[in-house]
Chains A and B, each alone.
Chain A
């Protein structure tokens, strides 16, 4: 029978191109927004975070943009490499602290 489950949004990019992965959030009170990367068969891995009072933060090959007006978060990956192929999750940490609320993931596929 048909498999019931979520079909992850998939972004396919060519090696060397830039990638942009988007995320919408709902909790305006969240203090931090975080991106995690999950490769097949592994647990999620922290990439970068941004505090709610910022609108941009850069890391190594990655940039996170936060638009609080439309409650939108994006992860930009420069010069995408095959090793970037994974599922990417955005997460928010509410002001109350401790709990990470993960959103739905986006599958990034890097083709040679």
Chain B
């Protein structure tokens, strides 16, 4: 069974440019998460979806970050414009349901903002 797929794996952009990350969760998983992981730190939740509904986006910086999960499957996370401090790994995870302690993570997208 395929795991969580993310693309691109690496992205280098200049500050003020837009960037988008794509995630395809495990088939049948209703809950999808986007996390940010800084070097040496644990992942921090940005947004959680139940099907196509964003049910927790309290940690998403809405002035520059946006996300969508059309049709309740794939998801896209966008940053516009990117800032130097946005350099991090962006992880997507999915689970059968929101109460699952076991979340399945993708490999992440490593973003470098120059």
Which residues of A line the B interface, CB within 8 A?
A: 5-8, 32, 34, 41-46, 49, 89, 91, 93, 97-100, 102-105
Contact = CB atoms under 8 A, between A and B. Distances in A.
B107 A100 contact: no
A104 B101 CA distance: 18
Interface residues of B, number: 25
Nearest to A89: B42
Judged by DSSP, the binding face of B is: loop
Contact of A99 (B41, B42, B48, B108): B48
9 contacts: A5-B38, A46-B103, A93-B101, A97-B99, A98-B31, A99-B45, A99-B48, A100-B43, A100-B45
B106 A43 contact: yes
Interface in B41-60: 41-45, 48, 55-56
A43 B101 contact: no
Interface of A (DSSP majority class): loop
A6 B42 CA distance: 11
A91 B4 CA distance: 20
A111 B108 CA distance: 27
B2 interface: no
Contacts of A45: 105
